[in-house]
Structure 1
């Protein structure tokens, strides 16, 4: 086997590391994208009995965007294992309590080692808009005005 073929074969079977940025992303749609990389569905060698999935590092999970009124209608179930230990928590309460608890334990403790192995970043589903407080004053002042108000105009 030639050296080129060996490298191609290694690249096909190797587990690569991907980064996924959750800023302003719908977690349910993002889960479908991430699932493909974790299971290896994007590889030509995929088979249901094959374990060929890659590693995915998910960052900025505290900045997710749920669609519509999901923040107040979606509930999460938790049970402590003891009698009467069942509880339902609204999404906004869970997010307010600790939006990154699982991700913090899994990712941030080993961030240095993981970031050395990252070879790809997965494209986000939606474009992240620029916040007005992140734009410098010079750009705001030089932005073309839509209309000029007369000098005697009074705001109510």
Structure 2
């Protein structure tokens, strides 16, 4: 076997490290893309029983975006194991307590109930901001593409761009909307 073939084979079977920026991303849509990488479904050698998945480092999980009124409507269930130990917590309360928990639970449920779920979850590394330890960051080889574009804030545009932006109505300068 040639050395080029060996390198290609190593790249196929070796574990890669992917970086995913969760800023302004829906965690439940992002979880499906992350699960493909964790399970190895993006590789040509994928088999449901084979453990060929890669590592995924998720950053900025504090800045996720839930659609609609999900912050008030989504409820997370937890049971302590004791009698009357059931509790339901709103998504925004869970996010205040632990910013990585919503993303972790989304990926956990997207993995399905297979025996390989816990091994795949160990290859998921979630950070609430962009401060990632150097020991993890040095392993990252590739980056997963964000599913939706991060919007640009109005105060980040230059005054010239705002002035040249096409207007729907060309109001006179002395016109006041609230008459």
Partner of 2:134: 112
Match of 1:6 in 2: 6
TM-score by length of 1: 0.85
Show the counterpart of 1:58: 58
CA-CA distance at 1:92 after TM superposition: 1.7
Distance 1:133 1:80 in 2: 46
Cα distance in 1 for residues equivalent to 2:60 and 2:44 = 30
> 1:46-105, CA deviations, whole angstroms, 9 ceiling, x for partnerless residues?
112211100000111111122222222110012233333321011122123332367349
Aligned residue pairs total: 154
Taking only aligned residues, the RMSD between alpha carbons, in angstroms, comes to: 2.3
Can you give the 5+ residue segments of structure 1 that lack an aligned partner in the other structure? Answer: none
> 2:61–2:127: 8 Å Cα contact kept in structure 1?
no
Cα 1:104/1:121, change in 2 over 3 Å: closer
TM-score by length of structure 2 reads 0.75
Q: How does 1:1-150 map to 2 (within 5 A)?
A: 1-100=1-100, 103-104=126-127, 111-141=133-163, 143=165, 145-150=167-172
Structure with higher helix content? 1
The CA distance in 1 between the partners of 2:51 and 2:13, in whole Å, is: 10
The CA distance in 2 between the partners of 1:89 and 1:54, in whole Å, is 32
For structure 2, list consecutive stretches of 5 or more residues without a partner in the other structure: 105-125
Aligned to 2:109: none
Task: Report the counterpart of residue 177 of structure 2 in structure 1.
Answer: 155
